[in-house]
Amino acid sequence: MTKIYRGGCACGAIRYETTSEPIFENHCQCRDCQKQSGTGHASYLTFANRTDMAMTGETHSWRVASDSGNEKIYAFCPTCGAPVYLSTVAMPDFIAVSAASLDDPGQFKPQVVTYAARGHAWDTLDPSLPKFEGMPHG
């Protein structure tokens, strides 16, 4: 049976769906993710082929330079403001959907914590997850 990942924004104006499997699932504690999520981290499921993600509705976005200098694009719903996905200029085929935007957030299986060096003591994550000071490479 094929697993389907479905989700969207809080008001339902934006919807997405894919049968692809995520290639990376993480909690990110970088300052950009903290600010866009309104808490100590953001959580993502990254998919390798954006073209495999069916999406309806129109997002608005804002861009920010990451620590590496690459540009990140945060997409959100212009109606409710909920974050929906993240992409980068350097890897335009990749799309990282917000774990909380899934219809079934239980599908999210975090593998690592990225930018743990920027984490806050009050933002306690699963201590068994591997932690990286920045973004792991390789």
Dihedral of the alpha carbons of 1, 16, 67, 133, in degrees to the nearest 10: -40
pLDDT at res. 101: 97
127 alpha carbon, distance to own chain's centre: 20
Q: What is the CATH number of domain 5-118?
A: 2.170.150.70
pTM: 0.91
Buried b (16+ CB within 10 A) or exposed e, 86-101: bbbeeeeebbbbbbeb
32 secondary structure, DSSP code: H
Domains of the chain, by residue range, sit at 5-118
pLDDT digit string, tens, across residues 98-132 = 999 999 999 999 999 999 999 999 999 999 999 99
pLDDT digit string, tens, across residues 43-64 = 999 999 999 999 999 999 999 8
- Contact (Cβ atoms closer than 8 angstroms) between residue 61 and residue 76: yes
